[in-house]
Amino acid sequence: MSRPSVRLSHPYHTKRLKAIKLRQKGYSYQEIATSLRVSKSTAYYWTRRVKLSRKARERIKRKVQEAIKKGIIAYNKQYAKIRSQEASQRKEKWKEEAYKKILQELGTLSRRDLMLLSVAIYWAEGYTRSENIVRVSNSDPLIIHLMIRFFQEVCGVPKEKIRATIHLYPQIDTKKAIKYWSRITGLPSKQFTKPQIQISRSSKRKRDPHRLPYGTLHLNISSTELTWKIKGWIQGVSHLIKTRE
């Protein structure tokens, strides 16, 4: 008894039939190549004569548009990253040039420079309504350090006459804050009054602890004479600004 003949399909023949069906459904050459694991040129060769229906053409058009959109998005992301890096480099260059220039111009911070800077800071940050209390507050250690120098070197205030108060938020360690500001100011801890704990209603105790890790320092000097001297210095600077021309 003879065996029935069995027709074996070549693997590529099977793939070619699948490719034609996919093309008829509106698959792109690249989609077909990826799906069947063949080259794009092979996918094109197998399906180049397939007549596309309107639905298939619409699908291909939509896929092409999606590919273009993805390409544009990817390009923009990459280009945005490059632009961001270039912008950062420009900013660092400007900062470095300005840093070198001001050091070259000033050389050192003279007593006159110290006075002018400190009076401007007090004008902006200090408490100017009092008649007998000099008070300035800030969270920047460099500004606090500058004002300590101003009080001692320009105003002639003895260190023991300066009092400090820290305004803290609940999550800040009081002892660490006092130790930190004591090092910045050179004031012993005994000259620090009881810290003020404050809670911002808007933050609802959710304030970022890293934003002000040591709180804000208030420097206080009880002196009617100095209070009015500083008011006079501010008035003098204001006059110079007005009469500059």
Query: Which pLDDT tens digits describe the chain residue by residue (245 residues)?
Result: 445 444 445 777 888 888 888 888 888 888 888 888 899 899 888 988 888 888 888 888 888 888 888 888 888 888 888 888 888 999 999 999 999 999 998 888 899 999 999 999 999 999 999 999 999 999 999 999 999 999 999 999 999 999 999 998 888 889 999 999 999 999 999 999 999 887 655 555 555 556 788 999 999 999 999 999 999 999 999 998 887 65
Residue 115: how many CB atoms within 10 A of its CB?
Answer: 16
Please indicate, yes or no, whether the overall pTM of this predicted structure exceeds 0.85: no
Length of the chain: 245
Q: Please tell me the distance from the alpha carbon of residue 32 to that of residue 41, in angstroms, as a whole number.
A: 10
**Domain boundaries of the chain, sorted by first residue:** 11-52, 66-107, 111-242
Sequence-distant (6+) residues with CB within 8 A of 125 are: 136, 137, 138, 143
Distances (CA, A) of 179 to 77, 82, 171: 46, 44, 16
Question: Could you tell me the two tokens for 205?
Answer: 């105790």
* Cβ(60)–Cβ(68) below 8 Å: no
**14 Rama class: left (phi>0) / alpha (psi -120 to 50) / beta:** alpha
Residue 38: how many CB atoms within 10 A of its CB?
Answer: 17
Fold of 111-242: 60s Ribosomal Protein L30; Chain: A; (3.30.1330)
* Cβ(195)–Cβ(166) below 8 Å: yes
